[in-house]
Amino acid sequence: MRAPEPLCAAVRPPALEQLELGSLCRESEYEVRTADGWTLVITRYQPVRQRFEQAVFGAPLLLVHGFSQNRHAWSTGDFVKQMLLFGVDVHLLELRGHGKSSVELQRRKAAAGAPLPADLDYDWDIDSYFLFDLPAAVAGVKRVAGRSSIFYCGHSMGGMLGYGYAGLHDDLAGLVAIGAPTDLGRGFFALKLAAWMLPATRLVDGYLVARNSFERALRGSRLALRSMLCSNKLTRTLAPALPAGNTPGAPAFRYVPVDLLARKAERLLAERDRWLGYVWPYLGFLPNLSRVGTEDVRWLLREGGEREPRKVVEQFARWIRNGELVCYRTGYDFKAGFPHIEIPVAIIFGDLDRLASRESTRGLYEAARSEYLLWRPVKANSHIELTIGQDTRQICFDIKSLIEYARNHPGSQPLFEGGGTAPGVCSNIVN
């Protein structure tokens, strides 16, 4: 048997565009079960040894997407590939109701004998992500990677969840937050105004009740008309052409159809020459198209938008109105936990991003007690392109530097060798 070629630190890695994703990793997926009965899917990109140096080979990194997104928020661009170039063991979580962790998956599990989650009908909130999804995902990554602690990287809402988790648990080796505010709405008047107006969604409830009542009345009139027509022989043949008047379901405002809105935005983006130049500069939370490919943005809008429950939106609005980050079910205050965070931390935001600006991200930077604490903007970036745009390379270098610091720090744990699948965890290879 021929011995493998030795690794050579002097061998320079090829340009990223010259590498196929499949040559850098073994892609698979596995499932974790939350304490409240959801089955979540984690996609794993396990690094493969290369001839060039991979500085942090085997370091387990959990990626958590943001509001109304899924795995495509990370995989659309080169973010995952860049992390694999460094040898990072990437685990990509999709929160409940998003992507592969879909409502449909829970129904399939129920058909096989598992109980349905109580909040299946878009009845969950941010607390559900924080109390159930994150602990299950972190525990799953630790089991699969065979580690006692892992690295965490969250974008937007995923980063905000990470703030809370890091202040309460001790099984993270490092925390990276990308475009994740600690004071949501600070310096963004339009978002604050929207949060104060959100209680007006009760009008939507009233509209739906009125519409349902109208449809029931209309159904009654249809049935009466059919009865009249069927009472004589001449018009009996006309009756089948009339609507049968099936009982309408009771409509309810349970989720925001971000998936439909995103696909509509994708179609508008395709016609951007007509209108985009006038509108886009005023929408600071949307991508800066000079820093990200239009086709990537269109793909993300088509495939990466997910329905988000009404309760999630209402909890965000409450956070904005009260200037807080709180798990309302337990009373845990994320901000009160900031001084307990001593692990390496990187807080990265776009300098054009109005959702996560310098002012709205500074809270953790000022309160954390980490010896390694990075807080910096990415030039000419807004919110979305931070994970799919042209500047993800420098962000990935920041993550690599944080992991290297954790490895070299006296209190760091051995996180960088091995990386096999632990016994008892189901792992499915993706073709």
Question: What is the tens place of the pLDDT at every residue in 297-324?
Answer: 889 989 999 999 999 999 999 999 999 9
Q: Could you tell me where the beta strands, DSSP code E, fall in 39-198?
A: 39-47, 60-64, 89-93, 150-155, 172-178
Is 60 exceeded by the pLDDT of residue 277? no
Residues 178 and 203 in one domain: no
Question: What is the tens place of the pLDDT at every residue in 331-374?
Answer: 999 999 999 999 999 999 999 999 999 999 999 999 999 999 99
Residues 176 and 219 in one domain: no
What CA–CA distance (Å, rounded) separates 272 from 265?
A: 10
In total, how many domains does the chain have?
2
Q: Is residue 35 part of a domain?
A: yes
Q: Is residue 179 part of a domain?
A: yes
Beta-bridge partners for 43 = 29, 92
Residues 27 and 165 in one domain: yes
Are the CB atoms for 362 and 389 separated by under 8 Å?
Answer: no
Q: Which amino acid is at 267?
A: R
Contacts of 219 (CB under 8 A, 6+ apart): 245, 246, 247, 248
Range name among 68-82, 164-178, 410-424 with the lowest pLDDT average: 410-424
What CA–CA distance (Å, rounded) separates 236 from 226?
A: 9
Residues 155 and 32 in one domain: yes
Q: Could you tell me where the beta strands, DSSP code E, fall in 164-269?
A: 172-178, 255-256
What CA–CA distance (Å, rounded) separates 275 from 266?
A: 13
Is 60 exceeded by the pLDDT of residue 5? no
Residues 50 and 137 in one domain: yes
Show the domain range for 123.
Answer: 21-184+325-429
Residues 59 and 161 in one domain: yes
Residues 106 and 168 in one domain: yes
Q: Is residue 60 part of a domain?
A: yes
Is 90 exceeded by the pLDDT of residue 26? yes
Q: Is residue 311 part of a domain?
A: no
Q: Is residue 288 part of a domain?
A: no
Q: Which residue has the higher pLDDT, 206 or 367?
A: 367
Is 80 exceeded by the pLDDT of residue 201? no
Residues 33 and 141 in one domain: yes
Is 60 exceeded by the pLDDT of residue 200? no
State which of 210, 234, 252 marks the end of a domain.
252
Instruction: Provide the CATH number for the domain around residue 98.
Output: 3.40.50.1820
Residues 405 and 339 in one domain: yes
Residues 367 and 234 in one domain: no
- pTM for the structure as a whole: 0.84
Residues 150 and 61 in one domain: yes
Q: Is residue 319 part of a domain?
A: no
Count of alpha carbons within 13 angstroms of residue 100, beta-carbon side? 15
Q: In this structure, is the dihedral angle defined by the CA atoms of residues 347, 351, 355 and 358, taken in order, positive or negative?
A: positive
Q: Is residue 96 part of a domain?
A: yes
Are the CB atoms for 117 and 109 separated by under 8 Å?
Answer: no
Residues 35 and 171 in one domain: yes
